[in-house]
Chains A and B, each alone.
Chain A
Amino acid sequence: MFDDFFIRALVAGIGVAIVTGPLGCFVVWRRLSYFGDTLAHSALLGVTLAYSFQFNIAFSVFLISSLIALILIKLQKRTNLPGDALLGLLAHSSLAVGLVVIGFLTFIRFDIMGLLFGDILAVNVTDLLIIWLGGGLILLVLKIIWKPLFASTVNYELAEAEGLNPDRAKAVFTILMAALIAISIKMVGLLLITGMLIIPAAMARNVSDSPFKMVLFSIIGGLLSVLIGLFSSLEFNTPSGPSIIAAALFLFILSLFRIKQSIQLKN
């Protein structure tokens, strides 16, 4: 039978995959992958704050990521810099500041590799609760804002003209992204979390012809990645976070054959 830590890792991974599926689709549709990266990078600062002031890590990461999102919106209004330059500025400076702060906290022993690439095997029962309760809440809120968010993803002006309030939906979605990064940082780490969002969704795009199917396949792809990744990490003694992302990549490559087939069928 599996060791306890492995079961916990599986339960955590499954919980995260169910949430990253639908959110990842929106990240792909709305071209937010770099935005997700920026929020994830800033999470390091959140973690250091949590250690310094004895906060809960997820809570502290959520606060810092939301703050960074807010700063981004302000900077977009105040400067003439393009969005990607601002994102790069925030991503790398928050990562750097986080690492500098760690340098000051010599009295705490940090597992830097665990922070960057995740340490799913160290997940405890509190983490599981945070993942499943937080994840459930994220999905519930996403369901509530689904219509305006989706409509404005297709066409902002249609959504606005027909009274769906897309700006509010966008703001709420930003908060959901910050929350997702907060609950999943421990599992895949801050450098790989965006991969967990994008790769299953990208795989799903290759095999779906409707938004609903894409969300469904994205969840399935995420679940399979977690299962394959974790079992192979156990089998080959590889790091678990990167193994999950590598499994997702493997599924994406498989999905490419499906596209090739459907293109051939058309001709």
Chain B
Amino acid sequence: MSSENILVKLDKVGLKQNNKWLVKGVTLQVGKGKIVTLIGPNGSGKSTTAKIALGIYKNIDGNVEKYTNKVGYVPQKISIDWTLPLRVNDFMLLTENLKDDEINKALSLTGVEHLKNKNLGTLSGGEFQRVLLARAISKQPDLLVLDEPVQGVDFTGEIALYELIKDISDKLNCGILLISHDLHTVMSATDHVVCLNGHVCCSGSPKDVARNNEYKALFGEQASQTLSLYEHKHDHTHDHDGEIKKN
């Protein structure tokens, strides 16, 4: 990858909290138009690595170089205090001054345009997740960091949203750092997989990682087969009402 296409670069970064390394020696980079997926068991430092890439943690080891300020972030956990009256529309405007039609477009892409004037506190988990994703893509960022972006979304919606993410990466030519544990739905779109367990266990193309022994040790033989199994195509999709759409 030529250097001007790199959006963010982590060089042997680590974070120590209360004398314990949360992650250590992580090296990775995200380039324009590329999707890099972080996988790993619970507590393996996926979210921490994402936050390091975003510059949220200050006292880190190693080096982070970020080449863009247009960043969209979907955090894994977000606790919003309901003493604050906040509608979806206000939330969309949180970090960026968007025009009304830009807001509508982003919301309709993730299928939640009808929630625009709803209070954020009244949304279901899946609806809120779609709003989070819409907010992150609405500003047309160079770099998207998505930490479990489809948690709580129903299964068909999940696939549709991953396809949308892939679409966005192609259309905006933005780089995506994706964290997910739904290995089989993620893998088809991913360019590069980094398998974490406190450190980088292995990395490479999805196929390489699936064949890697450390990966098998971490996730079991079955996961490895799931990965290879995924290489097939659906001949149809469903729209929001469940109607069949031929591809």
CB atoms of B84 and A211 under 8 A apart: yes
Residues of B within 8 A of A164 (CB): 95
Which of B33-41, B68-76, B106-114, B218-226 contacts the other chain? B68-76
Residues of B within 8 A of A163 (CB): 69, 71
Q: Known: A160-B55, A162-B95. Is A211-B71 also a contact (CB below 8 A)? A: no
CB atoms of B87 and A155 under 8 A apart: no
Residues of B within 8 A of A31 (CB): 83
Q: Tell me, rounded to whole Å, the shortest Cβ–Cβ distance linking A201 to chain B.
A: 10
CB atoms of B84 and A29 under 8 A apart: yes
CB of A233 within 8 A of chain B?
A: no
* Complex Cα gap A29–B91 (Å): 15
Counting chain A CB atoms within 10 Å of each CB, the highest count among B56, B79, B84, B86 belongs to B84
CB atoms of A28 and B83 under 8 A apart: yes
CB of A254 within 8 A of chain B?
A: no
CB of A34 within 8 A of chain B?
A: no
Of A153, A162, A214, which contacts B85 at CB under 8 A?
Answer: A214
Give chain A interface residues in 143-183, CB to chain B under 8 Å. Answer: 147, 150-151, 153-155, 157-164
CB atoms of A210 and B86 under 8 A apart: yes
CB of A209 within 8 A of chain B?
A: yes
Of A28, A151, A157, A210, which contacts B75 at CB under 8 A?
Answer: A157
* Complex Cα gap A207–B182 (Å): 43
Nearest CB in chain B to that of A207: its residue:
B85
Residues of A within 8 A of B69 (CB): 163
CB atoms of A161 and B73 under 8 A apart: yes
CB of A205 within 8 A of chain B?
A: yes
CB atoms of A154 and B73 under 8 A apart: no
Residues of A within 8 A of B90 (CB): 210-212
Tally of contact residues, B, Cβ under 8 A: 26
CB of A255 within 8 A of chain B?
A: no
CB atoms of A160 and B54 under 8 A apart: yes
CB atoms of A209 and B87 under 8 A apart: yes
CB atoms of B85 and A154 under 8 A apart: no
* Complex Cα gap A155–B81 (Å): 9
Give chain B interface residues in 57-76, CB to chain A under 8 Å. Answer: 69, 71-73, 75
Of B84, B87, B89, B96, which contacts A154 at CB under 8 A?
Answer: B84
Q: Tell me, rounded to whole Å, the shortest Cβ–Cβ distance linking A39 to chain B.
A: 21
* Complex Cα gap A150–B87 (Å): 14
CB of B194 within 8 A of chain A?
A: no
Q: Tell me, rounded to whole Å, the shortest Cβ–Cβ distance linking A173 to chain B.
A: 15
Q: Tell me, rounded to whole Å, the shortest Cβ–Cβ distance linking B238 to chain A.
A: 32
CB of B1 within 8 A of chain A?
A: no
Of B71, B81, B94, B95, which contacts A29 at CB under 8 A?
Answer: B81
CB of B217 within 8 A of chain A?
A: no
Of B89, B94, B145, which contacts A151 at CB under 8 A?
Answer: B94
CB atoms of A162 and B71 under 8 A apart: yes
Q: Tell me, rounded to whole Å, the shortest Cβ–Cβ distance linking B46 to chain A.
A: 15
Of A147, A151, A154, A161, which contacts B71 at CB under 8 A?
Answer: A161
16 pairs of residues in contact across A and B, judged by CB atoms under 8 Å: A28-B83, A29-B84, A154-B86, A155-B75, A155-B80, A157-B56, A158-B73, A159-B95, A160-B55, A161-B55, A162-B72, A163-B69, A209-B87, A210-B86, A212-B90, A213-B85
- 18 extra interchain contacts, Cβ-Cβ under 8 A, other than A161-B73, A162-B71? A29-B81, A29-B83, A154-B84, A157-B56, A157-B73, A158-B95, A160-B54, A160-B56, A161-B71, A161-B75, A162-B73, A162-B96, A163-B69, A163-B71, A210-B86, A211-B84, A211-B90, A212-B90
